[in-house]
């Protein structure tokens, strides 16, 4: 039997967000017109606004957009992806609020874990870009080498807004 997925929407300062879940876990959070929108869930989602997981996620997002620092562990998440992507997303969850790291930093960490000389920062970028739970899994906190603000599935302007919300001075970062 195919697993059921549910969806709802949430309005925030960035516009409309779509939340998806399986009834117990949050499986997706996408900004309107985001690249790879809904790519990791069953296309036949059922609109259901009042699930507990959605209510928790909306309260988390309310606090986040009001400048609080909600913890990722407060939300039961289950992003769908292969082992490599799961590891990258786990590293993203460890990036502290208001801090950034580079794709290269993540590549170095995974290369070390795997006992290999190097890992492609582009491979990391692919996994970061396919993050199905934007904002909560903070892929916006990953920047390119030399402070370059590169790629964001929700758009560079949105990435800059999220970084500024977290108190990161984006004036010193370079927009490509």
12 is annotated as an active-site residue: no
Phi, psi of 111 (to 5 degrees): -60, -45
User: What 3-state class would DSSP assign to 47?
Assistant: strand
Contact residues for 163 (Cβ-Cβ < 8 A; gap 6+): 100, 140, 141, 149, 170, 173
Select which of 139, 143, 153, 173 is catalytic. Answer: 139
Q: Which has the closest alpha carbon to 144: 136, 152, 153?
A: 152
With beta carbons less than 8 A apart as the criterion, state whether 160 and 152 touch: no
Active-site residues: which are they?
139
């Amino acid at each position: 039997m195919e697993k059921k997925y549910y969806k709802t929407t949430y309005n925030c300062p960035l516009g409309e967000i779509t939340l998806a879940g399986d009834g117990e876990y949050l499986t997706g959070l996408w900004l309107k017109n985001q690249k790879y929108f809904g790519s990791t869930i069953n296309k036949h989602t059922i609109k259901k606004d009042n699930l507990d997981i959605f209510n928790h996620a909306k309260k988390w997002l309310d606090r986040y957009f009001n400048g609080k620092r909600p913890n990722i562990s407060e939300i039961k998440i289950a992003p769908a992806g292969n082992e490599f992507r799961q590891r990258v997303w786990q590293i993203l969850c460890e990036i502290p609020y208001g801090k950034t790291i580079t794709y290269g930093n993540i590549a170095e960490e995974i290369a070390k874990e795997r006992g290999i000389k190097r890992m492609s920062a582009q491979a990391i970028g692919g996994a970061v870009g396919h993050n199905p739970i934007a904002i909560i899994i903070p892929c916006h906190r990953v920047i390119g080498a030399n402070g370059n603000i590169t790629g964001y599935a929700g758009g560079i302007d949105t990435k800059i807004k999220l970084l500024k919300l977290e108190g990161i001075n984006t004036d010193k970062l370079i927009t490509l």
